[in-house]
Amino acid sequence: MSNHLSDRIKNMSTSATLAMAAKARELRNEGKDIIGLSLGEPDFNIPDFIKDAAKKAIDENYSSYTPVDGYAELKTAISNKFKRDNGLDYGLNQIVVSTGAKQSLFNVAMVVLNPGDEVILPAPYWVSYSDIVKLAEGVPVEVTTQIDTDFKMTPEQLEAAITPKTRMIWFSSPCNPSGSVYSKEELEGLAEVLKNHPDIYVVSDEIYEHINFSGGHVSIAQIDGMYDRTVTVNGVSKAFAMTGWRIGYIGAPEWIAKGCTKLQGQVTSGANAIAQRAVITALEAPVSKIQYMIDKFHERRDLVLGLLGEIDGFNLNVPEGAFYVFPDISAFFGKTLNGATINNASDFSLYLLEHANVATVTGEAFGNPNCIRISYAASEEELKEAIARIKAVL
Ligand code: PMP
Ligand code: GLU
């Protein structure tokens, strides 16, 4: 039979993070001792109090379809969380629970974008943004940021990227892959530019909100004039180590929330019931309950920066959040190591996989061809061993 894949799927890239994780798994199954630093996935177990809530939900027979936009109790917990952590007032009609923040992002793209609408993506950006935008027939417009400004977009860069077709801006803070955190002043600078462009909406992906070593997290929706034009995206995958439970959510203007619910009603019918019940307990708990994981990530960040800093050719900034470092390794381009010529970040990442048995992700997938992403959501032992191996093969 011939292959009749749609153009839509043919033109879509495979998620580079998931592809690298799959490759690492495959090599491990072949007996290779691979250290996986490619996937942004906490290596902690889910806290017991959340597991208990899920077990209770099963026993209490939460087994039917849920409301498409999520249980009212969960949306209330989300609304309270937005108030408690972000000073944001979202009513239940502005909140939609989805199958991971990834689906939340997809919903928003499908609901807001018309074909040809431009979406500004400060690069490096999270790997899936550009393909999600393209799937919704939007046009990603990359704004290249530099390591010496901590990979953050300046107001001048934003202004220069805006055209009459600009419909949205998508960014994450703390940022995947750079770990950068936008300060209140920096967000105010971007908001100032947007004052002159009232039709542009912002997607603020705050899934790493709690994994922040710089002090306070600021949501752009808190800045004057931004609330009515911002979709605040969040989820439990990262801070609560619940990646496989697949719960994400948005707080948004009501018309966007309604559109997302309509879309979800035809596509998934809503997120998993047991996971939703467990997330009520997760979000009602004080952040102090998960502080031990945040403290560990902080220690590991310092460990990784120290060890990578000893390798010639790694140009690093200091990420203030998430659990990634994003070194510029372009000093190796044009070199031949152990018979392998390194011309770009993909070659470099592949070289580390094949020669050091360490899985990382090429920066090309995040819109930056000079860097690689290393996730430090791994044990100290694994991190030390991985970096020793990297050093040895370079
Ligand atoms: N946004 C960012 C910046 C991420 O790193 C991830 C990672 N998975 C997601 C969204 C999607 O998260 P989820 O597991 O909730 O789909
Ligand atoms: N967000 C994580 C990452 O960037 C998980 C993988 C994915 O969802 O693509 O590695």
Between strands 201-205 and 166-172, the pairing is parallel
Query: Which of 98, 127, 211 is the best mutation target for the ligand 2 pocket, counting ligand atoms within 8 Å of the beta carbon and taking the most?
Result: 127
Q: What integer pLDDT is reported at residue 228 of this predicted model? A: 98
Atom of ligand 2 nearest to the CA of 40: 10
Which residues partner with 233 through β-bridges?
205, 250
> Which residues does ligand 2 sit against, CB inside 6 Å?
15, 17-18, 39-41, 102, 127-128, 176
Across the chain, mean pLDDT equals 96
Q: Which two tokens stand for residue 141?
A: 């417009």
Q: What is the pLDDT of residues 126-168, one digit of tens each?
A: 999 999 999 999 999 999 999 989 999 999 999 999 999 999 9
Amino acid code (one letter) for 110? M
Residue 1 has pLDDT above 80, yes or no: no
> Which residues does ligand 1 sit against, CB inside 6 Å?
40, 100-102, 126, 172, 176, 205, 207, 235, 237, 243, 248
pLDDT-derived band at 361 (thresholds 50, 70, 90) equals: very high
- 345 touches 322 (CB < 8 A): no
Q: What is the pLDDT of residues 189-229, one digit of tens each?
A: 999 999 999 999 999 999 999 999 987 899 999 999 999 99
The residue whose CA is least distant from atom 7 of ligand 1 is: 40
Ligand 2 center from residue 18 Cα (angstroms): 7
Q: What is the pLDDT of residues 89-109, one digit of tens each?
A: 999 999 999 999 999 999 999
Residue 208: which of 173, 241, 243, 232 has the closest Cα? Answer: 173
Q: What is the pLDDT of residues 279-315, one digit of tens each?
A: 999 999 999 999 999 999 999 999 999 999 999 999 9
pLDDT-derived band at 114 (thresholds 50, 70, 90) equals: very high
Atom of ligand 1 nearest to the CA of 172: 3
Average pLDDT over residues 172-194: 98
Q: What integer pLDDT is reported at residue 51 of this predicted model? A: 98
- 40 touches 323 (CB < 8 A): yes
- 267-294: buried (b, 16+ CB within 10 Å) or exposed (e) per residue? eeebbbbbbbbbbbbbbebeeeebeebb
Q: What integer pLDDT is reported at residue 161 of this predicted model? A: 98
What is the SS3 assignment for 362?
strand
Separation CA 303–CA 324 (nearest Å): 12
Only one residue has tokens 């990359």, namely 142
Residue 3 has pLDDT above 90, yes or no: no
391: Cβ contacts below 8 Å, ≥ 6 apart = 307, 310, 311
Long-range contacts of 182-188, Cβ-Cβ distance < 8 Å, separation of 24 or more = 182/152, 182/218, 182/220, 183/214, 183/218, 184/216, 184/218, 184/223, 186/152, 187/218, 187/220, 187/223, 188/223, 188/224
- 387 touches 308 (CB < 8 A): yes
Closest ligand to C-alpha of residue 21 is 2
Separation CA 153–CA 186 (nearest Å): 9
Average pLDDT over residues 221-248: 97
